[in-house]
């Protein structure tokens, strides 16, 4: 936990460090707002890191169903679809994430890229 705090002190814009600090400070599945969503997100991220994209897709899909207003869940789902080459589905998921967090340039960028790649695949 101290490591990620230090990284953020040195680079306050480091989203990865912010994420890992948040994860290190929270207990997955804790009752209350978003507990089951947090657990689904954690399972999805773990599966993604193992390249188990089927399990990651299920976990992130569950997170979007449990909390449709979670840009993070939609963003991860888009990432899994993008990784799998399901560009039309990735574009829709990233569009959802970008709609929820319009200032997140990554969601907007990947929504556009996925849409472009989906269009290029059409005969």
Q: What angle do CA 89, 91, 96 make, to 5 degrees?
A: 100
pLDDT band of 13, cuts 50, 70, 90: confident
Residue 8's pLDDT is 77
Question: Quick check: 78 and 86 in contact, CB under 8 A?
Answer: no
Residue 122 pLDDT: 81
pLDDT in tens, 90-103: 999 999 999 999 99
Q: What are phi and psi of 31, to 5 degrees?
A: -55, 150
Residue reference for tokens 């989203």: 15
The stretches of the chain forming alpha helices (DSSP H) are 2-10, 15-25, 35-49, 53-66, 71-84, 87-100, 105-121
């Amino acid at each position: 936990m101290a490591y990620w705090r230090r990284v953020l002190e040195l680079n306050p814009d480091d989203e990865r460090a912010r994420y890992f600090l948040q994860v290190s400070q929270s207990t997955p599945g804790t009752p209350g707002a978003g507990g089951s969503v947090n657990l689904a997100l954690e399972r999805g991220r773990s599966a993604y890191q193992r390249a188990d994209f089927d399990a990651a897709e299920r976990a992130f899909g569950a997170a979007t169903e449990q909390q449709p207003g979670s840009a993070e869940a939609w963003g991860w789902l888009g990432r899994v679809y993008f990784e799998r080459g399901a560009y039309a589905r990735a574009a829709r998921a990233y569009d959802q994430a970008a709609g929820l967090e319009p200032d997140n340039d990554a969601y907007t960028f990947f929504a556009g890229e996925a849409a472009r790649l989906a269009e290029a695949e059409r005969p």
